[in-house]
Structure 1
Amino acid sequence: MTAETQEDARRRRRSRTSIKTSLRDLSSQLSLLNHQVGRQLGLKDVDLDCLDLITRHGPIGPSALARRAGLHPATITGILDRLEREKWIVRERDAVDRRAVTVRAVRDRTAEVLRLYAGMNRSMDDICARYDAAELELLADFFRRTAEAGRGATDDLSDA
Protein backbone atom coordinates (compact mmCIF):
# COMPACT_ATOMS: atom_id res chain seq x y z
CA MET A 1 0.00 0.00 0.00
CA THR A 2 1.32 3.43 -0.86
CA ALA A 3 1.48 6.22 1.70
CA GLU A 4 -1.44 7.95 -0.04
CA THR A 5 -3.68 4.88 0.05
CA GLN A 6 -2.77 4.23 3.69
CA GLU A 7 -3.78 7.81 4.46
CA ASP A 8 -7.00 7.31 2.46
CA ALA A 9 -7.73 4.15 4.47
CA ARG A 10 -7.14 6.01 7.76
CA ARG A 11 -9.38 8.86 6.60
CA ARG A 12 -12.14 6.41 5.64
CA ARG A 13 -11.87 4.67 9.05
CA ARG A 14 -12.09 8.02 10.86
CA SER A 15 -15.07 9.01 8.71
CA ARG A 16 -16.87 5.71 9.37
CA THR A 17 -16.25 6.11 13.11
CA SER A 18 -17.49 9.70 12.97
CA ILE A 19 -20.66 8.64 11.12
CA LYS A 20 -21.40 5.87 13.62
CA THR A 21 -20.82 8.25 16.55
CA SER A 22 -23.04 10.88 14.94
CA LEU A 23 -25.81 8.32 14.37
CA ARG A 24 -25.63 7.29 18.03
CA ASP A 25 -25.83 10.97 19.04
CA LEU A 26 -28.79 11.47 16.67
CA SER A 27 -30.53 8.42 18.09
CA SER A 28 -30.10 9.74 21.63
CA GLN A 29 -31.29 13.23 20.75
CA LEU A 30 -34.34 11.98 18.86
CA SER A 31 -35.15 9.66 21.76
CA LEU A 32 -35.01 12.63 24.15
CA LEU A 33 -37.12 14.74 21.79
CA ASN A 34 -39.69 11.96 21.45
CA HIS A 35 -39.77 11.56 25.23
CA GLN A 36 -40.49 15.28 25.67
CA VAL A 37 -43.19 15.21 23.00
CA GLY A 38 -44.77 12.16 24.62
CA ARG A 39 -44.59 13.80 28.06
CA GLN A 40 -46.36 16.91 26.77
CA LEU A 41 -49.05 14.76 25.15
CA GLY A 42 -49.42 12.50 28.18
CA LEU A 43 -48.18 9.45 26.25
CA LYS A 44 -45.69 6.78 27.26
CA ASP A 45 -42.70 6.48 24.92
CA VAL A 46 -43.93 3.15 23.53
CA ASP A 47 -47.42 4.60 23.01
CA LEU A 48 -45.96 7.48 20.99
CA ASP A 49 -43.86 5.02 18.97
CA CYS A 50 -46.95 2.95 18.15
CA LEU A 51 -48.99 6.05 17.35
CA ASP A 52 -46.26 7.07 14.89
CA LEU A 53 -46.36 3.63 13.26
CA ILE A 54 -50.14 3.79 13.01
CA THR A 55 -49.98 7.28 11.51
CA ARG A 56 -47.36 6.30 8.94
CA HIS A 57 -48.55 2.78 8.08
CA GLY A 58 -52.23 2.77 8.97
CA PRO A 59 -54.87 1.79 8.84
CA ILE A 60 -53.14 -1.28 10.21
CA GLY A 61 -54.17 -4.43 12.01
CA PRO A 62 -53.01 -5.02 15.58
CA SER A 63 -50.94 -8.09 14.58
CA ALA A 64 -49.14 -6.16 11.83
CA LEU A 65 -48.54 -3.31 14.28
CA ALA A 66 -47.09 -5.76 16.82
CA ARG A 67 -44.68 -7.09 14.17
CA ARG A 68 -43.63 -3.59 13.07
CA ALA A 69 -43.15 -2.47 16.67
CA GLY A 70 -41.41 -5.68 17.72
CA LEU A 71 -43.85 -6.08 20.60
CA HIS A 72 -45.95 -8.97 21.88
CA PRO A 73 -49.59 -8.82 20.71
CA ALA A 74 -50.82 -8.63 24.32
CA THR A 75 -48.62 -5.57 24.85
CA ILE A 76 -50.09 -3.98 21.72
CA THR A 77 -53.59 -4.56 23.08
CA GLY A 78 -52.77 -2.52 26.19
CA ILE A 79 -51.18 0.24 24.12
CA LEU A 80 -54.17 0.40 21.78
CA ASP A 81 -56.53 0.48 24.75
CA ARG A 82 -54.69 3.53 26.14
CA LEU A 83 -54.52 5.27 22.76
CA GLU A 84 -58.20 4.62 22.09
CA ARG A 85 -59.24 5.76 25.57
CA GLU A 86 -57.40 9.07 25.00
CA LYS A 87 -58.94 9.39 21.51
CA TRP A 88 -55.65 9.11 19.60
CA ILE A 89 -56.84 6.15 17.53
CA VAL A 90 -60.01 4.36 16.53
CA ARG A 91 -60.49 0.63 16.05
CA GLU A 92 -62.70 -0.28 13.12
CA ARG A 93 -64.27 -3.66 12.50
CA ASP A 94 -64.26 -5.11 9.00
CA ALA A 95 -67.77 -5.08 7.51
CA VAL A 96 -67.39 -8.62 6.15
CA ASP A 97 -65.26 -10.30 8.83
CA ARG A 98 -66.37 -8.75 12.14
CA ARG A 99 -63.40 -10.37 13.91
CA ALA A 100 -60.93 -8.38 11.81
CA VAL A 101 -59.95 -5.02 13.27
CA THR A 102 -57.92 -2.19 11.81
CA VAL A 103 -56.55 0.74 13.71
CA ARG A 104 -56.21 4.27 12.38
CA ALA A 105 -55.00 7.52 13.89
CA VAL A 106 -57.51 10.29 14.56
CA ARG A 107 -56.56 13.02 12.11
CA ASP A 108 -57.47 15.95 14.38
CA ARG A 109 -55.23 14.63 17.14
CA THR A 110 -52.30 14.14 14.75
CA ALA A 111 -52.05 17.93 14.40
CA GLU A 112 -51.18 18.13 18.11
CA VAL A 113 -48.21 15.85 17.56
CA LEU A 114 -47.04 17.72 14.45
CA ARG A 115 -47.18 21.03 16.34
CA LEU A 116 -44.72 19.70 18.91
CA TYR A 117 -42.32 18.54 16.20
CA ALA A 118 -42.59 21.83 14.26
CA GLY A 119 -39.33 23.24 15.65
CA MET A 120 -37.37 20.13 14.67
CA ASN A 121 -39.02 20.09 11.25
CA ARG A 122 -38.02 23.73 10.68
CA SER A 123 -34.46 22.93 11.72
CA MET A 124 -34.39 19.98 9.31
CA ASP A 125 -35.66 22.21 6.49
CA ASP A 126 -32.87 24.72 7.26
CA ILE A 127 -30.25 21.97 7.26
CA CYS A 128 -31.55 20.44 4.01
CA ALA A 129 -31.50 23.87 2.33
CA ARG A 130 -27.68 23.75 2.52
CA TYR A 131 -27.51 20.74 0.19
CA ASP A 132 -28.18 20.45 -3.53
CA ALA A 133 -30.60 17.90 -4.98
CA ALA A 134 -27.93 15.26 -5.69
CA GLU A 135 -26.54 15.53 -2.14
CA LEU A 136 -30.04 15.24 -0.68
CA GLU A 137 -30.67 12.10 -2.76
CA LEU A 138 -27.39 10.63 -1.47
CA LEU A 139 -28.31 11.46 2.13
CA ALA A 140 -31.83 10.05 1.68
CA ASP A 141 -30.34 6.83 0.30
CA PHE A 142 -27.88 6.62 3.21
CA PHE A 143 -30.62 7.07 5.82
CA ARG A 144 -32.96 4.64 4.03
CA ARG A 145 -30.20 2.00 3.99
CA THR A 146 -29.33 2.76 7.61
CA ALA A 147 -32.97 2.29 8.64
CA GLU A 148 -33.07 -1.02 6.72
CA ALA A 149 -29.90 -2.15 8.51
CA GLY A 150 -31.52 -1.21 11.82
CA ARG A 151 -34.64 -3.21 10.97
CA GLY A 152 -32.48 -6.18 10.01
CA ALA A 153 -30.46 -5.99 13.25
CA THR A 154 -33.69 -5.70 15.25
CA ASP A 155 -35.17 -8.72 13.46
CA ASP A 156 -31.99 -10.71 14.12
CA LEU A 157 -32.20 -9.94 17.84
CA SER A 158 -35.93 -10.70 17.91
CA ASP A 159 -35.33 -14.12 16.38
CA ALA A 160 -32.60 -15.00 18.91
Structure 2
Amino acid sequence: MQSEARRDGRREVREGLRELGVQLAQLNRRVGGRLGMRDADLDCLDLIGRIGPIGAGPLARAAGLHPATLTGVLDRLERAGWIVRERDTEDRRAVRIRALPERGKEVLAQFAGMNGAVQEICSRYDEEQLAVITDFLGRVAEAGRVEGIALDARG
Protein backbone atom coordinates (compact mmCIF):
# COMPACT_ATOMS: atom_id res chain seq x y z
CA MET A 1 0.00 0.00 0.00
CA GLN A 2 2.79 2.42 0.87
CA SER A 3 4.65 1.75 -2.39
CA GLU A 4 1.42 2.41 -4.32
CA ALA A 5 0.96 5.72 -2.51
CA ARG A 6 4.60 6.58 -3.28
CA ARG A 7 4.04 5.77 -6.96
CA ASP A 8 0.94 8.00 -6.90
CA GLY A 9 2.97 10.79 -5.31
CA ARG A 10 5.64 10.48 -8.01
CA ARG A 11 2.98 10.57 -10.71
CA GLU A 12 1.43 13.65 -9.12
CA VAL A 13 4.84 15.36 -9.08
CA ARG A 14 5.37 14.55 -12.78
CA GLU A 15 1.89 15.80 -13.63
CA GLY A 16 2.47 18.92 -11.54
CA LEU A 17 5.71 19.62 -13.39
CA ARG A 18 3.98 19.16 -16.73
CA GLU A 19 1.23 21.58 -15.73
CA LEU A 20 3.82 24.04 -14.40
CA GLY A 21 5.66 23.84 -17.73
CA VAL A 22 2.49 24.60 -19.65
CA GLN A 23 1.51 27.52 -17.43
CA LEU A 24 4.99 29.07 -17.46
CA ALA A 25 5.21 28.66 -21.25
CA GLN A 26 1.86 30.44 -21.62
CA LEU A 27 2.93 33.23 -19.27
CA ASN A 28 6.22 33.66 -21.14
CA ARG A 29 4.36 33.77 -24.48
CA ARG A 30 2.06 36.49 -23.16
CA VAL A 31 4.94 38.51 -21.73
CA GLY A 32 6.93 38.04 -24.93
CA GLY A 33 3.95 39.20 -26.96
CA ARG A 34 3.59 42.34 -24.86
CA LEU A 35 7.29 43.07 -25.31
CA GLY A 36 7.35 42.22 -29.01
CA MET A 37 9.55 39.14 -28.57
CA ARG A 38 9.42 35.57 -29.74
CA ASP A 39 9.75 32.76 -27.19
CA ALA A 40 13.42 32.14 -28.05
CA ASP A 41 14.14 35.88 -27.79
CA LEU A 42 12.75 36.05 -24.26
CA ASP A 43 14.59 32.85 -23.26
CA CYS A 44 17.90 34.20 -24.57
CA LEU A 45 17.38 37.59 -22.93
CA ASP A 46 16.74 35.82 -19.63
CA LEU A 47 19.91 33.75 -20.00
CA ILE A 48 21.97 36.81 -20.94
CA GLY A 49 20.59 38.69 -17.95
CA ARG A 50 21.29 35.84 -15.55
CA ILE A 51 24.69 34.59 -16.75
CA GLY A 52 25.97 37.35 -19.01
CA PRO A 53 27.90 39.01 -20.34
CA ILE A 54 28.36 35.89 -22.42
CA GLY A 55 29.79 34.87 -25.76
CA ALA A 56 27.57 33.68 -28.57
CA GLY A 57 28.84 30.08 -28.48
CA PRO A 58 28.16 29.52 -24.78
CA LEU A 59 24.80 31.27 -25.15
CA ALA A 60 23.80 29.04 -28.06
CA ARG A 61 24.67 25.97 -25.98
CA ALA A 62 22.84 27.28 -22.89
CA ALA A 63 19.75 28.10 -24.96
CA GLY A 64 19.90 24.89 -26.99
CA LEU A 65 19.88 26.87 -30.24
CA HIS A 66 21.77 26.42 -33.49
CA PRO A 67 24.30 29.26 -33.90
CA ALA A 68 22.53 30.56 -37.02
CA THR A 69 19.23 30.69 -35.14
CA LEU A 70 20.93 32.49 -32.27
CA THR A 71 22.28 35.11 -34.69
CA GLY A 72 18.71 35.97 -35.72
CA VAL A 73 17.62 36.15 -32.08
CA LEU A 74 20.52 38.44 -31.19
CA ASP A 75 19.88 40.65 -34.21
CA ARG A 76 16.25 41.12 -33.12
CA LEU A 77 17.19 41.79 -29.49
CA GLU A 78 19.88 44.28 -30.49
CA ARG A 79 17.62 46.13 -32.95
CA ALA A 80 14.97 46.43 -30.25
CA GLY A 81 17.50 47.78 -27.75
CA TRP A 82 17.47 44.86 -25.31
CA ILE A 83 21.14 43.88 -25.65
CA VAL A 84 24.48 45.15 -26.86
CA ARG A 85 27.33 43.24 -28.46
CA GLU A 86 30.71 44.34 -27.20
CA ARG A 87 34.27 43.30 -27.91
CA ASP A 88 35.64 40.99 -25.22
CA THR A 89 38.28 42.90 -23.27
CA GLU A 90 40.41 39.75 -22.92
CA ASP A 91 40.09 38.57 -26.54
CA ARG A 92 39.44 41.41 -29.00
CA ARG A 93 38.33 38.89 -31.66
CA ALA A 94 35.49 37.67 -29.46
CA VAL A 95 32.17 39.37 -28.81
CA ARG A 96 30.29 39.37 -25.52
CA ILE A 97 26.56 39.93 -25.31
CA ARG A 98 25.24 42.05 -22.47
CA ALA A 99 21.66 42.82 -21.48
CA LEU A 100 20.80 46.46 -20.94
CA PRO A 101 19.69 46.78 -17.29
CA GLU A 102 17.36 49.73 -17.94
CA ARG A 103 15.40 47.58 -20.40
CA GLY A 104 15.46 44.63 -17.99
CA LYS A 105 13.17 46.60 -15.71
CA GLU A 106 10.50 46.38 -18.43
CA VAL A 107 10.70 42.60 -18.35
CA LEU A 108 10.60 42.50 -14.55
CA ALA A 109 7.52 44.72 -14.57
CA GLN A 110 5.72 42.19 -16.76
CA PHE A 111 6.57 39.39 -14.32
CA ALA A 112 5.82 41.41 -11.18
CA GLY A 113 2.54 39.62 -10.48
CA MET A 114 4.09 36.18 -10.83
CA ASN A 115 7.14 37.15 -8.79
CA GLY A 116 4.86 38.43 -6.05
CA ALA A 117 2.81 35.24 -6.12
CA VAL A 118 5.94 33.09 -5.86
CA GLN A 119 7.18 35.24 -2.97
CA GLU A 120 3.87 34.76 -1.16
CA ILE A 121 3.88 31.00 -1.80
CA CYS A 122 7.47 30.72 -0.53
CA SER A 123 6.51 32.55 2.67
CA ARG A 124 4.39 29.51 3.59
CA TYR A 125 7.49 27.30 3.86
CA ASP A 126 10.37 27.35 6.34
CA GLU A 127 14.01 27.54 5.25
CA GLU A 128 14.52 23.78 5.45
CA GLN A 129 11.51 23.13 3.24
CA LEU A 130 12.64 25.80 0.78
CA ALA A 131 16.07 24.13 0.64
CA VAL A 132 14.40 20.81 -0.30
CA ILE A 133 12.29 22.53 -2.96
CA THR A 134 15.34 24.34 -4.33
CA ASP A 135 17.29 21.09 -4.46
CA PHE A 136 14.42 19.33 -6.22
CA LEU A 137 14.00 22.09 -8.80
CA GLY A 138 17.73 22.17 -9.48
CA ARG A 139 17.83 18.40 -9.99
CA VAL A 140 14.82 18.48 -12.31
CA ALA A 141 16.34 21.35 -14.33
CA GLU A 142 19.62 19.43 -14.64
CA ALA A 143 17.75 16.29 -15.72
CA GLY A 144 16.05 18.39 -18.41
CA ARG A 145 19.42 19.74 -19.60
CA VAL A 146 20.91 16.25 -19.73
CA GLU A 147 17.91 14.84 -21.60
CA GLY A 148 18.00 17.72 -24.07
CA ILE A 149 21.65 16.97 -24.83
CA ALA A 150 20.83 13.26 -25.16
CA LEU A 151 17.98 14.01 -27.58
CA ASP A 152 20.30 16.16 -29.69
CA ALA A 153 22.90 13.38 -29.73
CA ARG A 154 20.30 10.83 -30.88
CA GLY A 155 19.35 13.15 -33.74
TM over 0.5: yes
Partner of 1:149: 143
3-state SS of 2:54 partner: coil
**Deviation of 1:72 (Å):** 0.8
- Given that 1:89 and 1:106 are in contact with CA atoms closer than 8 Å, whether structure 2 keeps it comes out as yes
Partner of 1:21: 15
Partner of 1:54: 48
TM-score (norm 1): 0.94
Q: How many residues get paired? A: 154
Partner of 1:102: 96
- Given that 1:70 and 1:158 are in contact with CA atoms closer than 8 Å, whether structure 2 keeps it comes out as no
Partner of 1:93: 87
d(CA) in 2 for partners of 1:142, 1:84: 35
Partner of 1:119: 113
State the AA in 1 paired with 2:22: S
**Deviation of 1:98 (Å):** 3.0
d(CA) in 2 for partners of 1:108, 1:20: 38
Listed as ranges, the gaps of 5+ residues in structure 2 are none
3-state SS of 2:93 partner: coil
After superposition, residues 57-72 of structure 1 pair within 5 angstroms as 57-72=51-66
d(CA) in 1 for partners of 2:126, 2:92: 51
Q: Percent identity?
A: 54
Listed as ranges, the gaps of 5+ residues in structure 1 are 1-6
TM-score (norm 2): 0.97
- Given that 1:38 and 1:45 are in contact with CA atoms closer than 8 Å, whether structure 2 keeps it comes out as yes
Structure 1 residues 95 and 149: alpha-carbon distance in aligned structure 2, compared to 1, 3 A threshold = closer
Partner of 1:30: 24
**Which segments of structure 1 move beyond 4 Å, counting only runs of 4 or more?**
none
d(CA) in 2 for partners of 1:45, 1:53: 12
